[in-house]
Amino acid sequence: MTIATDPPKESFRLSMLINDTRYRSYTFQAIAVLALIVIFSILGNNLAQNLAAAGLNISYEFLGDPAGYDINQQPIPYDSQSTHMRASIVGALNTLIVAFLACVTATIFGVIAGVLRLSNNWIISKLMSLYVEAFRNVPVLIWIIIIFTVTANVFPQPRDFRGDNPTASMVGDAVAFTNRGVYVPKPVFEAGGWIVVAVFLASIAGIFLWRRYARKVLFDTGRIVPVFLPSLAIFFVPALLAYFILGRPIGLEYPELRGFNFQGGLTIRGSLIALWFALAIYTGAFIAENVRAGILAVSKGQTEAAAALGLRSGRIMNLVILPQALRVIIPPLISQYLNITKNSSLAIAVGYMDLTGTLGGITLNQTGRAIESVLLLMLFYLTFSLTISALMNVYNNSIKLKER
C-alpha cells in the first residue's frame, strides 16, 4: 500500500538562491548588475579624476565653433569659417557618397566575377578564381594605398596635356585622367532641366507599373504581355522627347586645360578614386563568393523540374533559379554593404575627407575633444548600421521560406 504524500512545502531559505534553479538565475543577474554598476562607477570615477586633472570637461559646445580648416570635396557649401558641426555633416555626406559608389561598383564586379567563376570556360573561371583569391587575402588598406599610388604617380600631370605635342590626351575630349584627379564633364541644368529629370523618374516608375500590369494580366487571363521592349521604350522615349521639346535644357560642361590645371567640369579626386575602387574591388571579391554560393545552393533538380514543365531557359532563370538564389545571396550582400560603409573610414589613410577624416581627424586634433568626437563618430556609424540591419531583418522575415 502506498501513501501519497504531498511534497513537503518548503519555505524560502537563503541557500535556495544558489542551489535552486528557480531562484539561481535571479542571483546571477543580481551579481551581473552589481558588477556592471561597480565597473561603470570605477570607470566613471577614473574618467572624472583624469578630466579634472587635465582641466577638461565633457561638452559639445565646440561643435558650434568655426572649424578653420578646408575640405577638398564639398557636397554642400562649406568654407573654413563654417562650424565643426557643418564640417562633420560634410564628412558624413562624403562617407555616404563613397559608400554608395563603392556598393554599386562592388555589386557589379561581384556578380560578374561570381557568375563567370561558374562558367564552363576554363581560362575565364581560373582568372576569376585568381581575382577572388588575390583580392580577398590582402588587406583592404594595402589595396587602397596601392590604387592611391597609381592615381598619384602613374596618371600624367596636367602639364602633359599642354603644347602641340602633348604626351597625354583626354579620353574622347571629355575625360582627363591626371595625377590631381579625374576630370569629367558636369551636367548643367538650364531652365526646364529639372522637368526632364522629373519625366525620367516618372518613366522609371512607369516601368514598374507596366511590369505589375503585365503580371496581373498573366495571372488573370494567362496571356503573356511583353515586358522587355516596352520597358526599354518607356525608359528612353519620354525623357528624350521632353529633352528635345524643351530645347535641350541639360548641357554638359567640359573640363578645359587653363593655366596649370583643368578648369570646369567635375573633379573626382585621386583619394576618392582610390577609396572607391579599392573598396569595390576588395568587397567585389567577397560578393563574388556569395553569388557563387547562392547559385550553387539552388539544387539541380529545380532546373530540371522547371525544364520538365516546359519553361524556356530564360524563364527558368527568371522564375525559378534567381528567386531562390537571391534569398541566399541578399543577406550576406547587405552585410557586405555595411562592411563597405565601415571600411570607408579607412579614408583617413589617403586623405579623403569623410566623417573619420573631419570629425575623427582634424576636428579631434584641433579641439582636443577626444571623447566627444569619438563618441559622435561611433554614434553615426552605429545608427547607420543598426538602421540597415533593422530593415534587413524585416526583409529577411518577408522572404523567409514559409515551410510547414
Partner 1 sequence: MSDTHAQTVAFVRHTEIPPAPPPPGQTGAVKWMRENLFSGPFNTIMTLLGVYIVYTLVVGIFPWIANGVWGVDNIRECREITQGNGGACFAVIEQRWQQLLFGFEYPSSEYWRPTFAFVLLFVAVAPVLFLNLPRIMLAFTGIYPFLAYFLIWGGTILIPITALLGFVVGYFAFRRLERNSFAAGLFGAVAAALITWWVTGFLVQAAPNFLALPEVASRNMGGFMLNMILGTVCVSLSLPIGIALALGRQSHMPIIKWICVIFIEFIRGVPLITLLFVANVVLAYFFPPETSLDLILRVIIMITMFSSAYIAEVIRGGLAALPRGQYEAADSLGLDYAQATRLIIMPQALKISIPGIVNVAVGLFKDTTLVSVISMFDLVGMIRGPILSSTDWAGVYWELWAFASVLFFVVCYGISQYSQWLERKLQTGHR
Task: State the cell numbers at 159.
Answer: 602639364
Instruction: Convert 49-73 to b/e letters by CB count within 10 Å (16 or more is b).
Output: eeeeeeeeeeeeebbeeebebebeb
Q: Whose Cβ is closer to partner 1: residue 32's or residue 202's?
A: 32
Q: CA angle 309-315-316, nearest 5°? A: 60
Q: Which stretch binds partner 1 (CB under 8 A): 9-17, 63-71, 223-231, 342-350?
A: 342-350
* Site membership for partner 1, residue 297 (CB under 8 A): no
Amino acid in position 178: T
Among candidates 141, 111, 41, which has minimal Cα distance to 345? 141
Tell which one of 13, 29, 173, 309 touches partner 1 (CB under 8 A): 29
User: Quick check: 239 and 196 in contact, CB under 8 A?
Assistant: yes
* Site membership for partner 1, residue 188 (CB under 8 A): no
Q: Whose Cβ is closer to partner 1: residue 261's or residue 385's?
A: 385
Q: Whose Cβ is closer to partner 1: residue 191's or residue 401's?
A: 401
Q: Whose Cβ is closer to partner 1: residue 255's or residue 360's?
A: 360
Minimum gap (Å) between residue 200 Cβ and partner 1 = 32
Report how far residue 274's alpha carbon sits from residue 372's, in angstroms, rounded to the nearest whole number. 30
Site for partner 1 in 35-94 (CB under 8 A): 36, 43, 46-47, 49-51, 53
Minimum gap (Å) between residue 104 Cβ and partner 1 = 20
User: Quick check: 252 and 244 in contact, CB under 8 A?
Assistant: no
* Site membership for partner 1, residue 296 (CB under 8 A): no
Minimum gap (Å) between residue 101 Cβ and partner 1 = 18
Q: Which stretch binds partner 1 (CB under 8 A): 198-206, 249-257, 309-317, 376-384?
A: 376-384
Q: Whose Cβ is closer to partner 1: residue 124's or residue 198's?
A: 124
The site for partner 1, by CB under 8 A, has a size of: 53
Tell which one of 13, 28, 201, 256 touches partner 1 (CB under 8 A): 28
Q: Whose Cβ is closer to partner 1: residue 36's or residue 198's?
A: 36
Site for partner 1 in 113-132 (CB under 8 A): 119-124, 127
Task: State the cell numbers at 363.
Answer: 576636428
* Site membership for partner 1, residue 149 (CB under 8 A): yes
Q: What are phi and psi of 159, to 5 degrees?
A: -70, -15
* Site membership for partner 1, residue 374 (CB under 8 A): yes
Minimum gap (Å) between residue 315 Cβ and partner 1 = 20
Among candidates 186, 159, 187, which has minimal Cα distance to 262? 159
* Site membership for partner 1, residue 153 (CB under 8 A): yes
Per CB under 8 A, residues contacting partner 1 are 18, 25, 28-29, 32-33, 36, 43, 46-47, 49-51, 53, 119-124, 127, 133-134, 136-142, 145-146, 149, 153, 342-343, 345-346, 348-349, 356, 360, 364, 370-371, 374, 377-378, 381-382, 385-386, 389
